[in-house]
Structure 1
Amino acid sequence: MDFNQITDLLTGKLTNWGTALIKLLPNIFLAAIVLVIGFYIAKFVRRISKKLIGKISHNITLNNLFSSVIYMVVLGIVIFTVLSILQLDKAVTSILAGAGILGLALAFAFQDIASNFMSGIFISFRKPLKVGDIVKLKDYMGKVISINLRDTVLQTFEGQTIIIPNKEVYQNAIDNYSYINKRRLDLSVGVSYGDDLAKVQQITLDAVKDIAERSQEDDVTVFFVEFGDSSINLSVRIWLNTPEQSVYVKVRSEAIMKIKIAYDANDIMIPFPIRTLDFGIKGGTTMTEMPVRFANQQ
């Protein structure tokens, strides 16, 4: 192949490319217009979707995430439309196939992360708990200090910070002590079998009814629950006007002191278990008899 043939070949290729480019100019112009308009439409849709989602969810992070996803979806549609206008259908097909394979691989590789992420979304919409609530999650009890898309952060009453994956939060039972904004204190007390139970019940009610943190909407209740080994046991139930743990502990301590003072003032005995110590190999020997029997054996 001589120089002239090479020149003719290159000239022919460039001519064909130039002709194809000239034929494609209207499509390029149209694709540019679609791309610019589509870009502004995607931004407008993101702004509108953010406002609409904000009416349903007050989680700013979640709202931004959803609006960004919608923005990327609209922008992706615009890009695929532009590629179709430019007659790059094969490129569009290749991109979609590659995206499907990549998405499948990522789904298998990050299934736990995806599960926690989706659980975080469901928690944000259902709102079984919120920041500041006192809850019990699995074996941990404390105050919720943060709810993220991947995990929930809990601070226990002992000062520990517990990070629980959202999948564990969503799939297990949640004890929310702040849901009704009050909390019940159950206090167990035992009295002697010789005491008047009606008198015990009334004195117990009078002893705790003036506690300041008690919910005025709910009455204090006293129920006798069982015959114990050395006492008749009763349960004192007091509703508090707040679920806070510090108030719960304070009222429990105050109730114990008030009940003890009231029982002492009215000769009500809080019994304690009695144990009989039996000395000797075969039993039946008291402690005073032990030295005498030991001396006789000498």
Structure 2
Amino acid sequence: MKAINNALDLLLQKLNNWGEHLVLMLPNIFIALVLLIATFYIARLLRKWIERFINRFSHSAALNNLITTLIYIAILLVGFFFVLSVLQLDGVVISLLAGVGIIGLALGFAFQDIAANFISGVIIAVQKPFSVGDMIETNGYLGMIERITLRTVDVRKTTGELVRLPNKMVFENPVTNFSYQHVRRVDLDMGVSFAEDLEKVQQVIITTLQDVKNRVKTRDIEVMYDEFGDSSINLVVRFWVTYKRQFDYVSAKSDAIIRIKKAFDREGITIPFPIRTMDFAMKGGETLSEELQKVTNGQAQNDKPQDGE
């Protein structure tokens, strides 16, 4: 019975101490509540102001949202730690900071690929090596960029398929941006007969391609002879076209081929094709013509009418 009374006395003493401490802490609690409300209010105002400010310099919605969100969370954390300090809970603050560090380290190892894609997305958003609508080639994929997020770059291939490339792959590998200068050079490899007047061929091609589709008129058409081939003199035709989509390049190249073929037909210029002799390796070293002659003679003998028929 005495033990129970002692326990009750101890409990009442503890409650009494807590009550006295709560009364003493009432001013601190009131200040902490005011500080907490002010923190949310200030964080919301700063977020709106920073968002309007960043939109003047950056057109990436994902990056702008990331920056404003991080600033908003940082302000809330600072205010929260101040509230704990006012409530004389400094030990809790230290424990929380240590816990956040340990959790962050563990999550970093567990989600390192996600973190790498996220950081790569931030760098891509800042550097802007390409934008939505650009035609790029990377990691073996050629297509138009349809969307850029902080995790992936979505590429619509020329054949219609949508490929979502992780930002880490795009960031760490070469990227060819065909839309960067809005022009692209078309190269045509072809050959003409050894008997042709090469200077005439040059002039015919240059004249023919003056009005080819999408051609940039400020750049000259180049016709350069490259080598003596097996059955032709090979040359390269180069000209520049305006480039917004892959169809601009393909249609200009097709139009150039049609125009050159018509011009060559009209001027009597020959585009030779290789001639090959097929060796059937007949037995006894006999040639194919000798073997065909034997077959022909044998069939002629069989077609002759026999005596008595």
Structure 2-normalised TM-score? 0.90
Taking a change above 3 Å as real, the CA distance of residues 278 and 4 of structure 1, as seen in their structure-2 partners, is: closer
Correspondence 1:242 to 2:238: no
Q: 1:207·1:259 contact (CA, 8 Å) conserved in 2?
A: yes
SS in 2 for 1:94: helix
Kept after mapping to 2: 8 A contact 1:151/1:164: yes
Q: Which residue of 2 aligns with 1:37?
A: 38
Instruction: Look up the match of 1:83.
Output: 84
Alignment of 1:68-79 (within 5 A): 68-79=69-80
Please identify, of 23-32 and 159-168, the stretch whose mean Cα deviation from structure 2 is larger. 23-32
Q: Which amino acid aligns with 2:89?
A: L
Q: Distance in 1 between matches of 2:92 and 2:182?
A: 59
Q: Is it true that 1:113 corresponds to 2:114 in the alignment?
A: yes
Aligned to 1:56: 57
Residue of structure 2 in register with 1:15 after alignment: 16
CA distance in structure 2 between the aligned counterparts of 1:284 and 1:232, rounded to whole angstroms: 36
Q: Percent identity?
A: 46
Question: Residues of 2 paired with 1:291 and 1:68: CA distance?
Answer: 86
- SS of structure 1 residue aligned to 2:211: coil
Contact kept, 8 Å, 1:279 with 1:285, in 2: the verdict is no
**TM-score, length-normalised on structure 1?**
0.93
Task: Give SS of 1:164's match.
Answer: strand
1:280 positional shift: 4.7
In 2: Cα distance, 1:278 partner to 1:5 partner: 117
Within a 5 Å distance, the mapping from 1:90-239 to structure 2 comes to 90-239=91-240
Residue 51 of structure 1 deviates from its aligned partner by: 2.4
Counterparts of 2:86 and 2:110, CA distance in 1: 36
**1:221-266, Cα deviation, whole Å (9 max, x unpaired):** 1111121111111111121112421122212111111101111111
TM-superposed deviation, 1:9 = 3.1
* Distance in 2 (alpha carbons) for counterparts of 1:40 and 1:19: 32
CA contact (8 A) 1:279 1:290 kept: no
Matches of 1:109 and 1:134, distance apart in 2: 35
Per the alignment, residue 276 of structure 2 pairs with 275
Instruction: Give the partner amino acid of 2:154.
Output: V
Whole-Å separation in 2 of the counterparts to 1:52 and 1:86: 35
8 Å contact from structure 1 (residues 144, 153) kept in 2: yes
Q: Is the 8 A contact 2:47 2:69 kept in 1?
A: yes
**Distance in structure 1 (CA, Å) of the matches to 2:56 and 2:285:** 80
Q: 2:304 maps to what in 1?
A: none
Q: Report the structure number with the largest CA radius of gyration.
A: 2
Give 1:289 shift. 2.4
Tell me, which stretches of 5 or more residues in structure 1 are unaligned?
none
Deviation at 1:5, TM superposition (A): 4.3
Residues 161-194 of structure 1 show CA distances to partners (whole Å, capped at 9, x for unaligned) of: 1111100101111110100111111111110111
Deviates more, 1:284-293 or 1:247-256: 284-293
- Gaps in structure 2 of 5+ consecutive residues: 299-309
Alignment CA distance shift 1:235-1:170 (3 Å): same
Q: Deviations over 1:110-167 (max 9, x none)?
A: 0000000111111111111111111101201011111111011111111111111100
